[in-house]
Amino acid sequence: ATTIAYSLGMSETLVGLTIIAIGTSLPELVTSISAALKKESEIALGNIVGSNIFNILFVLGASSVITPIAVNDKVFIDVIIMLVLTLVLLLFARTGFKIGKREGLMLAVAYVVYLVYVILRN
């Protein structure tokens, strides 16, 4: 997938934020949907948040211990967006202790808007 993306002129940042992110997140998505259908919301939310924390702290940390990772200036904007949306998720989770269909739709739309932004930026 990355070879095809590079041949189409996509940047490494765009490939990482789209193709690789979606591919590595599909198992968490399936697990979370399965848990939500079984009314096990703690597992669904814990799986998503735990996976992201693991990826950010352990995977990024271990990778940078092996080889220093250059940080593109564009990533700072992505980190700010991630922090803002994390706070939005926290607010959704705290209001009534439920992330309903409306909140889920808002988060999904935010992701689509973010993808469009990333594609247009690159």
Is pTM beyond 0.85? Reply is no
| 72: pLDDT strictly greater than 90 | no
pLDDT band at 62 (very low <50, low <70, confident <90, very high): very high
Domain regions of the chain by residue span:
2-121
Q: Which amino acid is at 94?
A: R
Tokens, residue 86: 């994390």
State percent of the chain over pLDDT 70: 98
Largest Cα separation within the chain, whole Å, is 47
Write the DSSP assignment of the chain as a string of letters: -HHHHHHTT--HHHHIIIIIHHHHHHHHHHHHHHHHHTT-HHHHHHHHHHHHHHIIIIIHHHHHHHS-----THHHHHHHHHHHHHHHHHHHHHSTT---HHHHHHHHHHHHHHHHHHHHH-
Is the pLDDT reported for residue 2 higher than 80? no
**With 90 as the cut, is the pLDDT of residue 113 above it?**
yes
Average pLDDT over residues 2-28: 80
Confidence label for 80 from pLDDT (cuts 50, 70 and 90): very high
Q: Are 74 and 121 in contact (CB under 8 A)?
A: yes
Contacts of 117 (CB under 8 A, 6+ apart): none
